[in-house]
């Protein structure tokens, strides 16, 4: 998981648990006797691509370090409902209290992985890759990016420090494409520079300025194909990305237009969660 050491993820998970538990789990504490043990299964009730089982397991472990866990599905596997994803056993109170946070993350991650796989399948047979974006809920980016990878997609830049991406507002405030690229080249040495273009003249200016990546935004496939051909004539190899309201019905046309990648914001900003439940029984 990104970023940094595993402890970083634990910090996030503890914060999520604290938010959900509040002062205490009054329902569980008042109805389930202390010392009660339980066994259970995580069951997918919708067809999905699996992602997030290690995260769900860790949520439970933070409240029950002696939890017993057995994966029944691998990350990236397609499963048809109903499907048992994992089996677990341990302290009933801890498992019940952690249930909602574990399920929320598992359902979201599996939903993202499922959507990503649909886009990856849609461009199968072409060299085109499916990229995610930074359109993630604050605090969930490492989880969302892992889910994209589990679905067969590729991660774009993690944060603003990782890559220069000059968009329309940057261009206007910098005084144009050429000036923006030159300023970025002088200040952010060693960092790749991507430029969003909205016209053929901006494309040619970005190529002349030495952009490493070209982002063609909100253009029909025919325009993308023509601009992609222009980019391929540049003396040095340029990575070409297409974006802008991508849909499953249209993404293959963009892949066949010759781009290296298509970025899809909807993978993470419009998640349809997988349906996963926890079925518990007395041990």
- Give the active site residues: 100, 135, 167, 196, 217
Distance from C-alpha of 115 to C-alpha of 46, rounded to nearest angstrom: 13
- If we measure between CA atoms, which residue out of 103, 105, 100, 87 comes closest to residue 27? 100
Phi, psi of 82 (to 5 degrees): -80, 140
- If we measure between CA atoms, which residue out of 77, 36, 41 comes closest to residue 56? 41
Strand partners, 49: 78
DSSP state, residue 45: -
Phi, psi of 282 (to 5 degrees): -60, 140
Q: 3-class SS at 57?
A: helix
Distance from C-alpha of 203 to C-alpha of 1, rounded to nearest angstrom: 36
92, 280 Cβ separation under 8 angstroms: yes
């Amino acid at each position: 998981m990104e970023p940094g050491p595993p402890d970083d993820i634990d910090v996030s998970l503890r914060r999520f648990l604290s938010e959900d538990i509040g002062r205490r789990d009054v329902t569980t504490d008042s109805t389930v006797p202390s010392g009660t043990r339980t066994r259970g299964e995580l069951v997918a009730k919708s067809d999905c691509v699996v992602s997030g089982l290690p995260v769900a397991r860790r949520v439970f472990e933070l409240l029950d370090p002696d939890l017993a866990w057995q994966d029944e599905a691998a990350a990236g596997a397609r499963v048809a409902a109903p499907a048992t994803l994992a089996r677990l056993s341990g302290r009933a109170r801890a498992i019940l209290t952690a249930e909602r946070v574990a399920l929320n993350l598992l359902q979201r991650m599996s939903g993202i992985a499922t959507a990503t796989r649909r886009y990856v399948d849609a461009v199968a047979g072409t060299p085109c890759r499916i990229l995610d974006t930074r359109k993630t809920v604050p605090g969930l980016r490492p989880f969302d990016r892992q889910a994209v990878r589990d679905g067969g997609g590729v991660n774009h830049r993690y944060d603003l420090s990782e890559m220069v991406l000059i968009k329309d507002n940057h261009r206007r405030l910098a005084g144009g494409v050429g000036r923006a690229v030159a300023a970025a080249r002088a200040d952010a040495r060693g960092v790749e520079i991507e430029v969003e273009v909205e016209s053929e003249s901006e494309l040619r200016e970005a190529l002349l300025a030495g952009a490493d990546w070209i982002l063609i935004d909100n253009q029909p496939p025919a325009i993308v194909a023509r601009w992609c051909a222009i980019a391929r004539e540049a003396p040095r190899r340029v990575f070409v990305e297409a974006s802008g309201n991508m849909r499953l019905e249209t993404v293959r046309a963009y892949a066949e237009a010759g781009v290296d990648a298509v970025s899809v914001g909807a993978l993470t900003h419009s998640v349809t969660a997988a349906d996963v439940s926890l079925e518990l029984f007395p041990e």
